[in-house]
Chain A
Amino acid sequence: KAGVTQTPRYLIKTRGQQVTLSCSPISGHRSVSWYQQTPGQGLQFLFEYFSETQRNKGNFPGRFSGRQFSNSRSEMNVSTLELGDSALYLCASSLDPGVGSPLHFGNGTRLTVT
């Protein structure tokens, strides 16, 4: 079974631009979560989607948004990019919508904002 796939692997953007990242979950997984990983802050939760609905959202500004499609694929968007948005963005999927379902991470998208 294919793992979680994220595209693109690398992105370089300029301040003020916007970016869209894509995530395809493991086949059959209906929950998709997004995390931001930086050396200083570690792994921070962005949001989680299930059945095209955002169920949880972390403490990030409104510039960060996402959505999930009917096939469970998900995208996240960051508008008006800032230098501090440079990070590894990780997508994770899980099978069971109940609490305590293991998350499976993708390889991430490395975003650099200049």
Chain B
Amino acid sequence: GENVEQHPSTLSVQEGDSAVIKCTYSDSASNYFPWYKQELGKRPQLIIDIRSNVGEKKDQRIAVTLNKTAKHFSLHITETQPEDSAVYFCAAEPIYGGSQGNLIFGKGTKLSVKP
């Protein structure tokens, strides 16, 4: 089945710097890749997603890139702010007969942005 690996597990940056989190997946049939942000004690919240027919997607300071050939995708956060501090999860959705809701998550990256 699908397996998602996420790196790094922890990331510390200075406010204003960029942060990059990388994920690889194993099932070439997966075609939906969301990113979730989870602040301490709160629910995971979708921040951006990308589908396999798109190579890059941006939303203000956040961007995601997808390389289908290499089976990896990355989250880029520019001009980081202290409120970006959280755990970020990548995920891939394998295809099983067209069903959905079966996301396979990476182990998460704890991002700390120092003022």
B-side contacts of A104, CB under 8 Å: 46
Given A31-B100, A33-B101, A42-B106, also A103-B43 (CB < 8 A): no
| Interface-located stretch among B17-25, B62-70, B78-86, B88-96 | B88-96
Q: How far is the CA of A100 from the CA of B44 in the complex (A)?
A: 17
Interface residues on A, range: 20 to 34
Given A31-B101, A48-B101, also A100-B51 (CB < 8 A): yes
Q: How far is the CA of A96 from the CA of B32 in the complex (A)?
A: 14
A-side contacts of B107, CB under 8 Å: 42
Bits for A1-45, please: 1 = Cβ < 8 Å to B, else 0: 000000000000000000000000000000111010000001111
Cβ-defined contact, B42 with A107, below 8 A: yes
Cβ-defined contact, B100 with A101, below 8 A: yes
Interface size on B, residues (CB 8 A): 27
User: Whose C-beta in chain B lies nearest to the C-beta of A57?
Assistant: B102
B-side contacts of A66, CB under 8 Å: none
Q: How far is the CA of A76 from the CA of B105 in the complex (A)?
A: 21
- How close is A38's CB to chain B, nearest CB, in angstroms? 11
17 A-B pairs with CB atoms under 8 Å apart are A31-B101, A43-B89, A45-B103, A45-B104, A55-B101, A56-B99, A56-B101, A58-B102, A90-B43, A97-B99, A98-B98, A99-B93, A100-B51, A100-B100, A105-B36, A105-B43, A105-B45
**Chain B residues in the interface with A (C-beta under 8 A):** 31-32, 34, 36, 42-46, 49, 51, 89, 91, 93, 95-96, 98-108
**Chain A residues in the interface with B (C-beta under 8 A):** 31-33, 35, 42-45, 48, 50, 55-56, 58, 90, 92, 94, 96-108
